[in-house]
Chain A
Amino acid sequence: MNNAAKASNKQDDIAIQLIGMHKWYGEFHVLRDINLTVNRGERIVVCGPSGSGKSTMIRCINRLEEHQQGQIIVDGIELTNDVKKIDEIRREVGMVFQHFNLFPHLTVLENCTLAPIWVRKTPKKEAEATAMQFLERVKIPEQAHKYPGQLSGGQQQRVAIARSLCMNPRIMLFDEPTSALDPEMISEVLDTMISLAEDGMTMICVTHEMGFAKTVADRVIFMDGGEIIEQAPPQEFFENPQSERTQLFLSQILHNA
């Protein structure tokens, strides 16, 4: 509710904007002149060969990685060294990781309520009620009092999604959410993500699930060597890729699929 009010006040259709962004790891130039605008409610899939900088790019958006040049504007706030602004952005941007990164010493429910209680100062009862709602939404309310180590990979990743949603984020980042899962568990996580997309969540998803990209994405972005090589709506992207590198990449992954 709070979020909706903010959105209408701002009258702002742009969720994320990367302008001429560069990043180096020491001497190594990992991200080169990234320009990307994500509108509110847009679903973006980022793909590309490994080491192309996809993960690094989305990790810059919530400042898990620092960029050295250019601008990143999230939700109307520019990312600088200002810790307050970083925290403000992190509260609004949820992230789901390849290896789930659930907190193993806390139960599923505690995983979900920790940030609302400590960051948003939500009363415990209320936070638990919200958490149960989201656990129901990802279809594992019965696991609420188990520890992450007792769940399957697919269940853990769904808990991780619920944990992010409990903070009521306006943007969700997914960093290869299905890459560490056994094949039979991928679809349960993808289904959760699809239902999230249908609700109009702004999403950036780094994934190799081309089926997901075709059904959900508004735009597919192809990265290679730290650059955005091509961006297009999925149909155009898959049927008529423009650049040679995109064609090569697609032929390689679709050959295997």
Chain B
Amino acid sequence: MAIVKTERHPELPPPVSQTGVIGWLRQNLFSNWWNTILTLVSLYVVWEAMSALIGYTIINANFAGTTREDCTGTGACWVFIKARFGQNMYGFYPEAERWRINVGYVLGAVGLFLVLSDVIKDKKWPAVFLFVVYPILCYFLFYGGFGLPKVETSEWGGLFLTLVLASVSIFVALPLGIVLALGRRSDMPVVRMVCVGFIELIRGVPLITVLFMASVMLPLFLPEGMNFDKLIRALVGMSLFSAAYMAEVIRGGLQAIPKGQMEAAKSLGLGYWQAMGLIILPQALKISIPAIVNTFIGLFKDTTLVIIIGLLDLLSVIKSGTTDKNWLGLATEGYVFVAAVFWVFCFGMSRYSIWLENKLHTGHKR
């Protein structure tokens, strides 16, 4: 006998116990007596840890004053960070010239915001500004020229130097990484061999070695009298190092694009570079976003390694501050501060990548 359904089943709301705050709590935290105990114990541990941390960093901390003696509370002595704030931020950059750095920050922030956010639809001009005009502008602004007094790079330091290292390396590593990744997949044997050789060589050694090579070994090979700035050598080392990593990340993305995409592009008459630039790379970079940002974040933190070739980035400035005889014994405050600054930047990058992924999502949302 055939069974035929004639009426459509009405649409019903989901069961109440599974929705809302209470439903969620019940299902996830208090589903049985064992989970209830675990939840309570965890809450207690989190409470203890957080109250200790907040007590140390905020409630019992010392903010006011200018010297070590002003730190009378039991918590952190932020006076230490405050008193040396200029140095922490700018290194030994002359105080009278620090406005130049701030102007650079503001311009960079505006440029980044226009390129990365959705405020402007046509991003051609902001991109030209950020990637062409801004770097040149920064060179003269930070280093000097056009009437601005020269500030040697040995006086650069603090968070400023960290940001210079990170942004230049990121700025160079991404395009260079794309070129290396394409080269590694090229049909031309020489190009492929050069790219593979470069990537494997650089990836096979620690960053510290690369920095040492750049700062100690390189001058030995250069002719007498020819000498690059120490900062430039560090920048070249870090950029090449991260480019090698970036290349592998992007190659992973390229491999995930089905062959049919290239075939469709070719069958429409697009050339190699058109197909790459319009079809393959936009998709490959999109799926590589998490890994690319991961590399950026790693790179940002790796900038602290320049301490070993004597550049004074944020960490080294703070570290040298802790050995100041007026501020002995405040290493914890210094490291907590450095950690907080790095966390803000890295967390920012991570959130941006999530936002970007969602924005570029074009299929069905699950």
Q: Indicate whether B364 reaches chain A with its CB closer than 8 angstroms.
A: yes
A90-B282 in contact given A99-B260, A149-B364 (Cβ < 8 Å): no
B269 pairs with A114, CB closer than 8 A? no
In the assembled complex, the Cα of A167 lies from the Cα of B265 at a distance in Å of 12
The smallest beta-carbon distance between A56 and chain B, in angstroms, is 13
Interface pair A97/B263, CB less than 8 Å apart: yes
With A118-B270, A118-B278, A119-B270 known to touch, is A105 a contact of B362 (CB < 8 Å)?
yes
Contacts of A118 in B (CB 8 A): 270, 274, 278
| Contact (Cβ within 8 A) A97 B268 | no
Residue of A95, A104, A150 near B283 (CB, 8 A) is A104
Residues of A within 8 A of B364 (CB): 149-150
A43: interface (CB < 8 Å): no
Which chain B residues numbered 253 to 270 have a C-beta less than 8 Å away from chain A?
258, 260-261, 263-270
Q: Which listed residue (B264, B269, B274) contacts A97, Cβ 8 A?
A: B264
Residues of B within 8 A of A93 (CB): 267
Chain B: minimal CB distance from A31 (Å): 18
B100 within 8 Å of A (CB atoms) = no
Contact with A along B233-270 (1 / 0, CB 8 A): 00000000000000000000000001011011111111
Can you list, as one digit per residue, whether each of A70-107 has a CB less than 8 Å from chain B (1) or not (0)?
A: 00000000000001000100110111010101111100
CB within 8 Å for A163 and B362 given contacts A105-B286, A118-B278: no
The answer to the question of B360 belonging to the interface, with a C-beta cut-off of 8 Å to chain A, is: yes
CB distance from A210 to the nearest CB of B (A): 26
Give chain B nearest CB distance to A66 CB in angstroms.
12
Contact of B267 among A62, A103, A105, A147 (CB under 8 A): A62
B363 within 8 A of A: yes
B267:A90 contact, CB within 8 angstroms: yes
Instruction: Please provide the chain A residues from 113 to 168 with a CB less than 8 Å away from any CB of chain B in the complex.
Output: 114-115, 118-119, 147, 149-150, 160, 163-164, 167
User: Taking A99-B260, A147-B362 as contacts, is the C-beta distance between A105 and B282 under 8 angstroms?
Assistant: yes
Q: A105-B282, A147-B363 are in contact. Are A119 and B268 (CB under 8 A)?
A: yes
Residues of B263-297 at the interface with A, using a CB-CB cut-off of 8 Å, are 263-271, 274, 278-279, 282-283, 286
- Inter-chain CA distance A119–B270, complex, in Å, is 6
Instruction: Report the bound CA distance from A119 to B360 in whole Å.
Output: 25
CB closest residue in chain A, given B271? A87
Q: Tell whether, in the assembled complex, residue A94 and residue B267 are in contact, meaning their CB atoms are under 8 Å apart.
A: yes
Q: For the complex, what is the distance from the CA of A94 to the CA of B269, rounded to whole Å?
A: 9
Mask of A160-189 contacts with B, CB within 8 angstroms, 1/0: 100110010000000000000000000000
Whether B268 lies near A101 (C-beta < 8 A) is: no
The closest CB in chain A to the CB of B363 belongs to A149
State how many angstroms separate the Cβ of A168 from the closest Cβ of chain B. 11
Closest to A147 in B: B362
CB–CB B267/A95 < 8 A: yes
Tell whether, in the assembled complex, residue B363 and residue A101 are in contact, meaning their CB atoms are under 8 Å apart.
no
Interface size on A, residues (CB 8 A): 28
Residue of A nearest to B263 (CB): A64
Contacts of B261 in A (CB 8 A): 101, 103
Closest partner residue, chain A, to B268 (CB atom): A115
Determine if B268 and A114 form an interchain contact, defined as CB atoms under 8 angstroms apart. yes
Complex contact B362–A104 (CB within 8 A): yes
Q: Do A105 and B360 touch (CB < 8 A)?
A: yes
Q: How far is the CB of B365 from chain A (nearest CB, A)?
A: 10
Which residues of chain A are near B274, meaning CB under 8 Å? 118-119
Interface pair A87/B269, CB less than 8 Å apart: yes
Pairwise interchain contact A115-B362, C-beta atoms closer than 8 A: no
The answer to whether A149 touches B362 (Cβ under 8 A) is yes
Interface centre among B263, B265, B271, B283 (most CB of A within 10 A): B263
In the assembly, what is the distance between CA of A103 and CA of B265, in Å?
A: 9
Residues from chain B with a CB closer than 8 A to the CB of A97 are: 260, 263-264
Chain B residue nearest to A88 in the complex (CB): B269
Q: Contact at A119–B269, with CB atoms within 8 Å? A: yes
Residue pair A101, B283 in contact (C-beta under 8 Å): no
Q: Knowing A97-B260, A105-B362, A114-B278, say if A90 contacts B266 (CB, 8 Å).
A: yes
CB-CB under 8 A from B266, the residues of chain A are 62-64, 90
Q: Are A90 and B263 in contact (CB under 8 A)?
A: no
Partner of B263, one of A94, A101, A163: A101
Of A95, A97, A103, A164, most B-chain CB atoms within 10 Å: A103
- A residues in contact with B267, CB < 8 Å: 62, 64, 90, 93-95, 164
- Minimal beta-carbon separation of A148 from chain B (angstroms): 8
Give A118 to B269 CA distance when docked, in angstroms.
Answer: 9
A146 to chain B, nearest CB (A): 9
**A94 (CB) vs chain B CBs: closest residue:** B267
What's the least CB distance linking B257 to chain A, in Å?
A: 10
| A91 contact set on B, CB distance < 8 A | 269
| In the complex, chain A residues whose CB is within 8 Å of the CB of B263 | 64, 97, 101
Q: A64-B267, A87-B271, A103-B261 are in contact. List 10 more A-B contacts (CB 8 A).
A: A62-B266, A64-B263, A83-B271, A101-B261, A101-B263, A103-B265, A104-B363, A105-B283, A119-B269, A167-B269
Which residues of A line the B interface, CB within 8 A?
62-64, 83, 87, 90-91, 93-95, 97, 99, 101-105, 114-115, 118-119, 147, 149-150, 160, 163-164, 167
Residues of B bordering A, CB below 8 Å: 258, 260-261, 263-271, 274, 278-279, 282-283, 286, 360, 362-364
A-B contact pairs, 20 of them (CB 8 A): A62-B266, A62-B267, A63-B266, A83-B271, A90-B266, A90-B267, A90-B268, A94-B267, A99-B258, A99-B260, A101-B263, A103-B283, A104-B363, A105-B283, A105-B286, A105-B360, A114-B278, A118-B270, A119-B269, A163-B268
